[in-house]
Amino acid sequence: MEAIEELAVQPCTSSLYLRPFRLSYRQNGTKKFWDFMRTHDSVSILIFNTSRQCFVVVKQFRPAVYMCEVERHHPQVFQNQDKESFASLENPLPAVVGVTYELCAGIVDKPGLSLEEIACEEVLEECGYRVSIAELKRITSYRSGVGLTGSRQTLFYAEVNDQMRTSGGGGQPEEGELIEVVEIPLEESMKFAYDETFPKTMGVIFSFMWFHSNIAPKLPKK
């Protein structure tokens, strides 16, 4: 996961996932404009393994996170962003600065499938557990990236056990995915959520808090 080489920044002239636009509008009599990206909505799944009393999350390298750290250390990288030639990264940072902990998740890009069906596919592909739609609980949906994309993410909860695991997960290599499955013990989960040395998404923090408020009180006492 951390063997990152031959980095180079270049203009993005087309993308399967992002479409940039500029919206012009008048608000309360004032002319304004706002740049934004259209992208896919998504699903995420909080997975709790009842056999070992732990959360199942994923860990992966995120180029956008990595480049935020690169710019913080080497601001000159983006200074030529309006030119054809961008800076090459001669001495790149270690890839670990771009690795984050996240909920199992995936984009909504299959019109023939429901959100629940897509969520079940993601749990199997990324984490190796086979769950049915009936075993999913919808927690809520919310907007993410409201200043840039405004896309909607729907959050589900799924309980699994060791018998439901059919593979090691890891995503789909043919689609460029390289995912590590990580288990966070229940008793350490809130410490993990607030530990800034483990870069993570807001979805991890929110869903752990939701679990401790809604599910943990109903668990059998040790």
Could you tell me the CA-to-CA distances from 166 to 38, 40, 124, 129, 202 in Å, in that order? 35, 29, 8, 6, 29
161: amino acid identity, one letter: N
This prediction has a pTM of 0.91
> In whole numbers, what is the pLDDT of the chain averaged over residues?
91
The reported pLDDT for the residue numbered 70 is 87
Give percent of the chain with pLDDT exceeding 70: 93
Span 111-159, pLDDT tens digits: 999 999 999 999 999 999 999 999 999 999 999 999 999 999 999 999 9
Span 64-107, pLDDT tens digits: 999 999 888 888 777 765 555 555 666 778 899 999 999 999 99
- Environment class of residue 13 by beta-carbon count within 10 Å: exposed (0-12), middle (13-18) or buried (19+)? exposed
Candidates 213, 192, 38; CA nearest to 102 is 192
The reported pLDDT for the residue numbered 88 is 63
- What domains appear along the chain, each with residue ranges and CATH number? 22-59+98-216 (3.90.79.10)
Only one residue has tokens 């959360």, namely: 55
